[in-house]
Amino acid sequence: MSRLSSGGLVDRTRPLAFSFDGRRYGGFAGDTLASALLAADVRLVGRSFKYHRPRGIVGCGTEEPNALVELRSGARREPNARATTVELYDGLDARAQNAWPSVSFDVMAINGLFSPFFGAAFYYKTFMWPKAAWEKLYEPAIRRAAGLGRVADAPDPDAYDKAHAFCDLLVIGSGPAGLAAALTAGRAGLRVILAEEDFRFGGRLLSEAAPLDDAAPVAWVERTLAELASLPNVRPMPRTAIFGVYDGGTYGALERVADHLPIPGAHAPRQRLWKIVATRAILAAGAIDRPIVFGGNDRPGVMLAQAVESWVGRYAVAPAKALAVFTSADAAWETAFAAHDAGQQIAAVIDARAAVAPALLEAAKRRGLRTVLGGEVRSTAGKTLSSIEVFANGRSERLAVDGLAMSGGFSPNVHLTCHHGGRPQWNDAIAAFVPGAAPPGMVVAGAAAGTYGRSACFAEGAAAAAAIAADFGRTAPAFDAPRGVDAATGLSAFWHVEASKGMAFIDFQNDVAAKDVKLAVKEGFTSVEHLKRYTTLGMATDQGKLANVPGLAVLAKASGRTIAETGTTLFRPPWSPVSIGALAGHHRGRDFRPLRLTPSHVWAEEAGAVFVEAGPWLRAAWFPAPGETDWRVAVEREVKATRTAVGLIDVSTFGKIDLQGPDVGRLLDRLYVNTFSTLAPGRVRYGVMCREDGFVMDDGTTARLADDRWVMTTTTANAAKVAQHLEFCLQVLWSDLDVQAVSVTEQWAQISISGPRARDTLAGVVDDPAGIAAEALPYMGAVETTVMDGVKARIFRLSFAGELGYEIAVPADRGEALARALMAAGAAFGITPYGLEALAVMRIEKGHVSGPELNGQTTAADLGFGRMVSQKKDSIGRVMATRPGLVDPARPGFVGFRPLDRTQRLAAGAHLLARGAAATTDADLGWISSATWSPTLGHAVGLGFIAGGAARIGEVVRAWDGLRGTDVEVEVCAPCFYDPDGGRLRG
Partner 1 sequence: MRYSLLNVVVNGLTGNRFTGPAWRDAAPKPAYDVVIVGGGGHGLATAYYLAKEHGIRNVAVLEKSWIGSGNAGRNTTIFRSNYLLPGNQPFYEWSVKLWEGLEQELNYNVMASQRGIVNLIHSDAQRDAYARRGNAMRLSGADAHLLDRDAVRRMMPFLDFDNARFPIKGGLWQPRAGTARHDAVVWGYARAADALGVDIVQNCEVVGFTRGPDGSVTGVETTRGTIAAEKVALAVAGSTSRVAKSLGIRLPIESHVLQAFVSEAVKPLVPGVVTFGAGHFYISQSDKGGLVFGGDLDGYNSYAQRGNLAVVEDVCEGGMAVMPLIGRVKLLRQWAGLCDMSMDGSPIVDVGPLAGLYLNTGWNYGGFKATPASGWCFAHTIARDEAHPLTAAMRLDRFRSGRVIDEKGVGAQPNLH
Partner 2 sequence: MRIVCPYCGARDAHEFAYLGDAAPTRPDPSAADAVDAFHDYVHLRDNPAGPLDELWYHAAGCRRWLVVTRDTRTHAITATVLAATAEASS
Partner 3 sequence: MADALSTCLPHHPLPRGRHGAATGPAGICLARREASVATLAARRGAVAATLAGLADLLGLAAEDRPVAVANDRATVLGTAPGRWLVVTPAGDDPEATLAPLAPVASVVDQSGAYVLFELSGPALADLLASLVAVDLDPSVTPANAALTTTVAHLGVTLWADGPDCCRVLVGRSLALAFERTIVAVAARHGVDLA
Task: Indicate whether 445 belongs to the interface with partner 2 (CB under 8 A).
Answer: no
Task: Indicate whether 724 belongs to the interface with partner 2 (CB under 8 A).
Answer: yes
Task: Indicate whether 536 belongs to the interface with partner 1 (CB under 8 A).
Answer: yes
Write out the E strands in 384-431: 387-392, 395-399, 403-407, 410-412, 425-427
Task: Indicate whether 769 belongs to the interface with partner 1 (CB under 8 A).
Answer: no
Q: How far is the CB of 515 from partner 1 (least distance, A)?
A: 8
Is it true that the peptide bond before 769 is cis, omega within 30 degrees of 0? Answer: no
Q: What is the maximum span of the chain, computed from C-alpha positions, in angstroms?
A: 115
Decide which of partner 1, partner 3, partner 2, none touches 567; Cβ closer than 5 to 8 Å per partner kind. none
Strands 323-327 and 403-407: parallel
Task: Indicate whether 104 belongs to the interface with partner 1 (CB under 8 A).
Answer: no
Q: Is 937 helix (H, G, I), strand (E, B) or coil?
A: coil
Residue 242 and residue 282 in contact, taking contact as beta carbons nearer than 8 Å = no
Q: How far is the CB of 735 from partner 2 (least distance, A)?
A: 4
Task: Indicate whether 75 belongs to the interface with partner 2 (CB under 8 A).
Answer: no
Nearer to partner 2, 150 or 670 (CB): 670
Nearer to partner 2, 632 or 883 (CB): 883
CA distances 596 to 166, 600, 612, 613, 614, Å, are 32, 12, 12, 9, 9
Nearer to partner 2, 183 or 717 (CB): 717
One-character DSSP codes across 277-305: EEEEEEE---EEE---B-BTTTSTTEEEH
Among 273, 302, 405, 821, binds partner 1 (CB under 8 A): 273
Give the bridge partners for 513, in sequence order.
505
Nearer to partner 1, 92 or 783 (CB): 92
Task: Indicate whether 135 belongs to the interface with partner 2 (CB under 8 A).
Answer: no
Site residues for partner 2, 732-791, by CB under 8 A, read 732-733, 735-736
Of the listed pieces 178-186, 240-248, 304-312, 668-676, which binds partner 1 according to CB under 8 A?
240-248
Task: Indicate whether 882 belongs to the interface with partner 2 (CB under 8 A).
Answer: yes
Question: d(Cα 200, Cα 314) in Å, to the nearest integer?
Answer: 11
Task: Indicate whether 246 belongs to the interface with partner 2 (CB under 8 A).
Answer: yes
Task: Indicate whether 498 belongs to the interface with partner 1 (CB under 8 A).
Answer: no
Residue 602 and residue 612 in contact, taking contact as beta carbons nearer than 8 Å = no
Task: Indicate whether 124 belongs to the interface with partner 2 (CB under 8 A).
Answer: no
Decide which of partner 1, partner 2, partner 3, none touches 915; Cβ closer than 5 to 8 Å per partner kind. none
Among 455, 527, 786, 904, binds partner 1 (CB under 8 A): 527
Q: How far is the CB of 589 from partner 1 (least distance, A)?
A: 4
Task: Indicate whether 247 belongs to the interface with partner 2 (CB under 8 A).
Answer: yes
Amino acid at 390: V
Task: Indicate whether 884 belongs to the interface with partner 1 (CB under 8 A).
Answer: yes
DSSP state of 135: I
Decide which of partner 1, partner 3, partner 2, none touches 857; Cβ closer than 5 to 8 Å per partner kind. partner 1
Among 19, 102, 126, 250, binds partner 2 (CB under 8 A): 250
DSSP state of 108: G
DSSP state of 3: B
Q: Give the binding site for partner 3 (CB under 8 A).
A: 159, 161-166, 191, 265-269, 275, 277, 586-591, 593-599, 601, 605, 611, 617-618, 652, 658, 660-661, 737-738, 740, 742, 744-749, 792, 810-815
Q: How far is the CB of 728 from partner 1 (least distance, A)?
A: 12
Q: How many residues bind partner 1 (CB under 8 A)?
A: 120
Question: d(Cα 443, Cα 178) in Å, to the nearest integer?
Answer: 12
Decide which of partner 2, partner 1, partner 3, none touches 596; Cβ closer than 5 to 8 Å per partner kind. partner 3
Q: How far is the CB of 182 from partner 2 (least distance, A)?
A: 24
Nearer to partner 2, 591 or 736 (CB): 736
Q: With CA atoms as reference, report the closest residue to 947 among 976, 916, 914.
A: 914
Decide which of partner 1, partner 3, partner 2, none touches 732; Cβ closer than 5 to 8 Å per partner kind. partner 2
Nearer to partner 1, 219 or 886 (CB): 886
| Residue 387: how many other CB atoms lie within 10 Å | 17
Question: d(Cα 512, Cα 121) in Å, to the nearest integer?
Answer: 10
Decide which of partner 3, partner 1, partner 2, none touches 813; Cβ closer than 5 to 8 Å per partner kind. partner 3
Q: Is 867 helix (H, G, I), strand (E, B) or coil?
A: helix
Among 232, 560, 589, 626, binds partner 1 (CB under 8 A): 589
| Residue 589: how many other CB atoms lie within 10 Å | 7
Q: With CA atoms as reference, report the closest residue to 408 among 331, 345, 346.
A: 331
Task: Indicate whether 916 belongs to the interface with partner 1 (CB under 8 A).
Answer: no
Residue 326 and residue 346 in contact, taking contact as beta carbons nearer than 8 Å = no
Of the listed pieces 20-28, 357-365, 547-555, 685-693, which binds partner 1 according to CB under 8 A?
685-693
Q: Is 548 helix (H, G, I), strand (E, B) or coil?
A: helix
Task: Indicate whether 806 belongs to the interface with partner 1 (CB under 8 A).
Answer: no
Q: How far is the CB of 254 from partner 2 (least distance, A)?
A: 18
Task: Indicate whether 239 belongs to the interface with partner 1 (CB under 8 A).
Answer: no
Residue 534 and residue 121 in contact, taking contact as beta carbons nearer than 8 Å = yes
Residue 875 and residue 665 in contact, taking contact as beta carbons nearer than 8 Å = no
Task: Indicate whether 878 belongs to the interface with partner 2 (CB under 8 A).
Answer: yes
Among 29, 165, 268, 277, binds partner 2 (CB under 8 A): 277
CA distances 219 to 185, 202, 211, 224, Å, are 21, 10, 9, 9
CA angle 657, 658, 663 (to 5 degrees): 110
Q: How many residues bind partner 2 (CB under 8 A)?
A: 28
Decide which of partner 2, partner 1, partner 3, none touches 55; Cβ closer than 5 to 8 Å per partner kind. none
Question: d(Cα 15, Cα 3) in Å, to the nearest integer?
Answer: 13
Decide which of partner 3, partner 2, partner 1, none touches 578; Cβ closer than 5 to 8 Å per partner kind. partner 1
State the DSSP H helix or E strand holding residue 461, giving kind and residue range, or none if neither.
Answer: helix 454-471
Task: Report the 3 state secondary structure along 306-317.
Answer: HHHHHHHHCCCE
Decide: residue 488, CB within 10 A, 0-12 exposed, 13-18 middle, 19+ buried: middle
Nearer to partner 1, 740 or 882 (CB): 882
Decide which of partner 1, partner 3, partner 2, none touches 105; Cβ closer than 5 to 8 Å per partner kind. none
Site residues for partner 2, 512-551, by CB under 8 A, read none
Residue 669 and residue 737 in contact, taking contact as beta carbons nearer than 8 Å = no
Question: d(Cα 839, Cα 846) in Å, to the nearest integer?
Answer: 11
Is it true that the peptide bond before 101 is cis, omega within 30 degrees of 0? Answer: yes
Question: d(Cα 84, Cα 63) in Å, to the nearest integer?
Answer: 9
Give the bridge partners for 832, in sequence order.
647
Decide which of partner 3, partner 1, partner 2, none touches 885; Cβ closer than 5 to 8 Å per partner kind. partner 1
Among 693, 784, 924, 955, binds partner 2 (CB under 8 A): 693
Nearer to partner 3, 235 or 878 (CB): 235
Nearer to partner 2, 514 or 657 (CB): 657
Nearer to partner 2, 547 or 657 (CB): 657
Amino acid at 762: L
Nearer to partner 2, 48 or 718 (CB): 718
State the DSSP H helix or E strand holding residue 374, giving kind and residue range, or none if neither.
Answer: none
Site residues for partner 2, 256-275, by CB under 8 A, read 275
One-character DSSP codes across 48-92: -SSS--EE----SSTT-SS-EEEES-GGG-EEEEETTTPBP-TTE
CA distances 391 to 190, 351, 934, Å, are 56, 11, 91
Site residues for partner 2, 52-71, by CB under 8 A, read none
| Interacting residue ranges for partner 2, rule: CB under 8 A | 246-250, 275, 277, 420, 440, 692-693, 720, 723-724, 727-728, 730-733, 735-736, 874, 878-880, 882-883
